Amino acid sequence: MRWTLKPKPNSKTVEDLQKALQVDNSVATLLVQRGIETYDDAKTFFRPSLDDLHNPFLMKDMDRAVERIELALVSNENILVYGDYDVDGTTSVALLSSYLKTKSETIATYIPDRYDEGYGVSYKGVDFAHDNDFSLIIALDCGVKAIDKVDYASEKGIDFIICDHHRPGSQLPKAVAILDPKRDDCDYPYKELCGCGVGFKLIQALASKENKTVEDLGEYLDLVATAIGADIVPITGENRALAYFGLQVINTNPRPGIKAIIDQIEKKVLTITDVVFIVAPRINAAGRMKHGNYAVSLLTETNEMLAKEFAAEINEFNLNRRETDKQITQEALIQITENKEEDRLTTVVYDASWHKGVIGIVASRLIETYYRPTLVFTKSGDKLAASARSVSGFDVYNALEACKEHIEQFGGHKYAAGLTLKPENYEAFKKAFEAEVSNTIDRNLLSPEIKIDAQIELREITPKFYRILHQFSPFGPGNMAPIFMTENLRDTGYGKCVGEDDKHLRLTAEQGNERIISIGFNLGNKIDLIKNRNRFDAVYSIDENHWQGRVSLQLKLRDIKG
């Protein structure tokens, strides 16, 4: 791994902030690194407020979207709330449909089938709307590239409102309204909302017409926080406030569906990390292994007993998903070895039998072994479908765009995308993708990087220091948990490998008179570096260790070097 110490910020700015806040230099440094340079900046950061959310009508087409929905509600039109099958899509559908159902009984939901229809708006979905007399479709977390499908709907007399957060193409669909902060002509101040976040801005705008404030919409924030965590969007600006208050709802008064998931795990207080690794995978498993409708049913259910039954069912999907992605990952690793592709700059693998629902997870798993842009293909009807994942700093979306002559359809983000192509184009695409990445990637990006916020001594790690760090949360892209480096450490002599197959490393780090328990997940292979009280350097974050009713600080080791 590459260790990169972040540049020290302007010392005068740090000193001024340190005085204004009455905090240690190291805390002030961490804040300035995050763009927090004044007392007011810090107040907004440490005390998020829903009052800081922007006026939803600053978003392009918001007035048109609200006007069309209000007309539909007054006219008692049938409205179809349409969303993608992942966490962002299903939470978006749950949010908007449950809000609109407080206004009308003619609201229904639609999640496309991952295997039959694929990602985004489908002709089958439009046909369903037409056959069942829906005159308005509101698409969430998808639709900004659905030009042909929106035209098809228009021919059938169906209007479209699109709420998306993906990059639009050069042409926009002819919808009644397109809410997407990433539109070139949209001046909305915050560009990083997830799909559910855009959906929340829509209900905020609708509620404002009834003189309701954002505080009146608190019951929906558990869904928004779940989507923010799952979709790996930056936890800055509006997302930080939405995640902060959404976590409060999750931990105090979550909807029955989310409560039923939490009841399955032994955790009293959930962080955004818990949402990402515990709640989101279960919701996602529905669309991966069965159908996204199961997730929407869970998230909109008001009866606690029924919600528990739905959650138990979804938990089974998740267990199946784990087994499936583990098996496919092993098969993909064997394929790479057998084809002698270890030294390529990309990973592109394919098997017709691989489960389409888990290929994105498999792509992420492969990056853990071969750290490079990765695509995992499987058969989908008469086409091949792939999930793409990238390494930090490399835009896989742009790389796919450069290879679009071989692709039928693609969409996504900088670090994650999906595509389809004809089977006969697979080999040509594979060569083109390798060539494009080879020509454009900085070779340094092919080694995982640990960005270190600051170098500190063990004596600086105090309960007070940790309490302040804890207030930096919720953590995520744009506001990651602080990473520290300390040099010249020794183990007290009792360090050992722990866990299944001795995968993890547990030791007590010592520097001068200071000692602190440390755990390094997946660092068991570095046991030799700490033996015989050899000196070593460590990169780590700080968290709490709960053991037999006692709470103590510990280092969560990210890497060590002799």
Which has the closest alpha carbon to 384: 342, 413, 427? 427
H-only helix segments in 339-425:
359-369, 396-402
* In a shared domain, residues 37 and 63: no
* In a shared domain, residues 155 and 189: yes
Contact of 110 with 128, CB cutoff 8 Å = yes
Q: What's residue 545's pLDDT?
A: 85
Our measurement of the distance from residue 223's CA atom to the centroid of its chain's CA atoms, rounded to an integer in Å, reads 13
322 in a domain, yes or no? Answer: no
Contact of 134 with 75, CB cutoff 8 Å = no
Q: What's residue 355's pLDDT?
A: 94
* In a shared domain, residues 398 and 253: no
Which CATH number fits the domain that encloses residue 248?
3.90.1640.30
* In a shared domain, residues 254 and 134: yes
334 in a domain, yes or no? Answer: no
Q: What's residue 265's pLDDT?
A: 86
Whole-angstrom Cα distance, residue 242 to residue 236?
Answer: 10
Mapping DSSP to helix (H, G, I), strand (E, B) and coil, where does residue 99 land? Answer: helix
**Pairing outcome for strands 504-511 and 496-498:** antiparallel
Which CATH number fits the domain that encloses residue 476?
2.40.50.460
* In a shared domain, residues 158 and 206: yes
328 in a domain, yes or no? Answer: no
Per-state percent for the chain, helix, strand, coil, to nearest 5: 45, 20, 35
327 in a domain, yes or no? Answer: no
* In a shared domain, residues 98 and 186: yes
- Which two three-digit tokens encode residue 4? 């990169």
- Which two three-digit tokens encode residue 455? 């170098």
Which has the closest alpha carbon to 420: 141, 174, 114? 114
* In a shared domain, residues 112 and 252: yes
Contacts of 119 (CB under 8 A, 6+ apart): 84, 85, 112, 142, 411, 418
CB atoms within 10 A of CB 7: 7
Q: What's residue 114's pLDDT?
A: 85
* In a shared domain, residues 189 and 287: yes
Total domains in the chain come to 3
Domain boundary among 429, 446, 463: 446
CB atoms within 10 A of CB 305: 9
Owning domain of residue 214: 56-313
Domain boundary among 396, 413, 446: 446
- Continuous segment of H or E residues that includes residue 163: strand 159-163
**Pairing outcome for strands 536-547 and 550-561:** antiparallel
H-only helix segments in 104-158:
123-131, 147-155
Contact of 214 with 183, CB cutoff 8 Å = no
Residue with tokens 């809000």: 99
For the chain, residues with pLDDT lower than 50 are none
Burial class (CB in 10 A: 0-12, 13-18, 19+), 462: exposed
* In a shared domain, residues 422 and 493: no
Residue with tokens 């059938």: 156
Domain boundary among 446, 469, 497: 446
Burial class (CB in 10 A: 0-12, 13-18, 19+), 85: buried
Burial class (CB in 10 A: 0-12, 13-18, 19+), 69: buried
* In a shared domain, residues 20 and 64: no
434 in a domain, yes or no? Answer: yes
Cα atoms found within 13 Å of the Cα of residue 234, Cβ hemisphere only: 13
pLDDT digits (tens, 9 = 90+) for 304-363: 999 999 999 999 999 999 999 999 999 999 999 999 999 999 999 999 999 998 999 999
504 in a domain, yes or no? Answer: yes
Which CATH number fits the domain that encloses residue 361?
3.10.310.30
486 in a domain, yes or no? Answer: yes
Residue with tokens 């997940």: 521
Contact of 116 with 380, CB cutoff 8 Å = no
| 537 DSSP β-pair partners | 561
Which has the closest alpha carbon to 162: 142, 181, 135, 134? 142
User: Residue 499: what are its φ and ψ, rounded to 5°?
Assistant: 85, 180
* In a shared domain, residues 347 and 299: no
**Cis upstream peptide for 448 (omega within 30°):** no
Residue 358 DSSP class: G
* In a shared domain, residues 296 and 401: no
- Which two three-digit tokens encode residue 392? 């930090």
120 in a domain, yes or no? Answer: yes
Q: What's residue 444's pLDDT?
A: 93
